[in-house]
Structure 1
Amino acid sequence: MTYFADLSSRQVGALPDGPRVPVLLLPLGAVEPHGPHAPLATDPLISRGMCERAASRLAADDDVRVLILPEIPYGVTRFAAGFAGGIHIGEETLHALLVDVGSALIGQRLPRILLVNNHFEPAHLVTLRRAVETLNFAYDGHVALLDLVRRRHAQRLTEEFRSGECHAGRYETSLVLADRPELVDQVVMRELPHVPVSLASAPEDGGFLEMGMSDAYCGKPAEATAAEGEETFSVLTDLLVEAIRELARA
């Protein structure tokens, strides 16, 4: 079984004493607008897709038992203010939720938890990093974040991702096309012009509208393809498998 919540209580209780090291993946993201063409759930959809692919790749591994926790789809998303569909939760709410979930698992001798995130708003990322620190120092966990914006990870991803023009652009839209193509309005997508806005230059007190993203996207979604999405998912899965193995050794 791949999904943690599909197990019985007895099966979970046996995990720490099993022959393989259990590593729990927690998919994260935000429910927020992704242009006029892509679903609100783009971020958690990508995180879940990464987790499923990594769990499948390691299903027969002799050393690691990978299980996917129920995802947390809500995040810090002030950038989405002014658009329909954005569901923002505050930093302290997200931090408390992650710490409560993590400490509950650590208390059951399941300390290896890997946060898998695809929502890159700076305040959201800061909160995730802080939650990892809290769980490791206050609760003696072995918790990690696969932080895709770190240079060593980003340099392995697409040019658009590295440029910061990747909110609902070619990068993210390609991933959704690879996983859930029926959720993308491809007729609208093909007509969208390039929006040359980098999230790396986002103002601290602004959002999509202030950045010039009048349709809540940047980059070049019209160029998105399922083939590119599959390629990117393969790289993302490589990164995640590497992080899982590193955490298993902790």
Structure 2
Amino acid sequence: MHFAELSSPQVAALRESSRVPVLLLPVGAVEPHGPHAPLGTDPLISLGMCERTAARLADDPDVRVLILPPLSYGVTRYAAAFAGAVHIGAETLHALVVDVCTALADQGLPRVLLVNNHFEPDHVATLRRAVRTVESLSGHRIGHLDLVRRANALRLTEEFRSGECHAGRYETSLVLAERPDLVDTGRMRSLPRVPVNMPAAMAEGRDDFLAMGMEQAYCGSPAEATGAEGEATFDTLTTMLVEAIRDLA
């Protein structure tokens, strides 16, 4: 299911297959996710979505889903006060996405779908702009499962919809489902709820976690996270990604 594990002749054969190739590009950022969850939470969730989706469609007669190497660095200024945040500029991210998608389109593989789980506004805006740039340059439409779009967000958990979605119950549950060994569950269970509506705080001009009141780089209720909720959420996310793949194909 991983594009980089194929040989060159195998990739060339994709263009002649009766199954439409759709390439998933997992995107995220390396940044603090509270004192309990890993820095790589966002790309870990993106990759988990992609792998579950590729497995679900493994025998599909119409599409062949392959996962590109993840793009794990993103625009992440909000977490700058905490150790572990690795920020790249918006233009760097834009250029990377555009160059990868254009290179694939140039060799007859234009159907790329961005799968992102890092929701800092400048990061999301950059991905949306990259989609438009690729379409302008190549003439091909690429996909972007944009989870913060209202229609998508409404399908996710109550905490996600409330805006308390950084390293809280929503994200921590997903990590518990995918890599429970990376969560400090003892620390997690001791953490109080931090009721910060991140979109509302951003709209008020608060431009970092500390200004939002996220003194430990999380909001929401990580203590309530469970692997079972994470698996249920992954199932919803996988269904959404399957729909996006079929639309692009």
TM-score range, shorter chain: over 0.9
Q: Which residue of 2 aligns with 1:75?
A: 74
Compute the TM-score of the two structures, normalised by the length of structure 1. 0.97
Pair 1:53-2:52 in alignment: yes
Which residue is 2:172 aligned to? Answer: 173
Instruction: Give the match's secondary structure for 1:79.
Output: coil
Q: 1:100 to 1:205 in 2, by over 3 A?
A: farther
CA distance in 2, matches of 1:166, 1:205: 16
Structure 1: state its 5+ residue gaps.
Answer: none
Q: TM-score, normalised by structure 2?
A: 0.98
Counterpart CA distance in 2 for 1:153 and 1:16 is: 31
Matches of 1:163 and 1:143 in 2, distance apart? 29
Residue 72 of structure 1 aligns with an amino acid whose one-letter code is L
The amino acid that maps onto 1:206 is D
| Moved >2 Å (runs of 4+) | 202-205
Instruction: Give the CA deviation at 1:205.
Output: 5.8
Question: What residue is the counterpart of 1:115 in the other structure?
Answer: 114
Paired residue secondary structure (1:80): coil
Equivalent residue letter for 2:163: G
The Cα RMSD (Å) is 0.8
1:32 aligns with 2:31: yes
Equivalent-residue separation in structure 1 for 2:160 and 2:21 (angstroms): 31
CA deviations 1:10-45 (Å, max 9, x no partner) are 111111111100000000000000000000000000
Are 2:104 and 1:105 equivalent residues in the alignment?
yes
Q: Secondary structure at the match of 1:241?
A: helix
Alignment check: 8 A CA contact 2:206 2:212 kept: no
Matched, 1:233 2:239: no
Query: What secondary structure sits across from 1:25 in the alignment?
Result: strand
Answer yes or no: is the 8 Å Cα contact 2:30–2:73 preserved in 1.
yes
Query: How many residues are treated as equivalent by the alignment?
Result: 247
> What CA deviation, in whole Å up to 9, does each residue of 1:194-219 have, x standing for no partner?
00001112334621011110000000
* CA distance in structure 1 between the partners assigned to 2:140 and 2:14 by the alignment: 16
Extract unaligned runs of 5+ from structure 2: none
Matches of 2:143 and 2:227 in 1, distance apart?
A: 30
2:210 corresponds to 1:209: yes
> What amino acid does structure 1 have at the position aligned with 2:198?
L
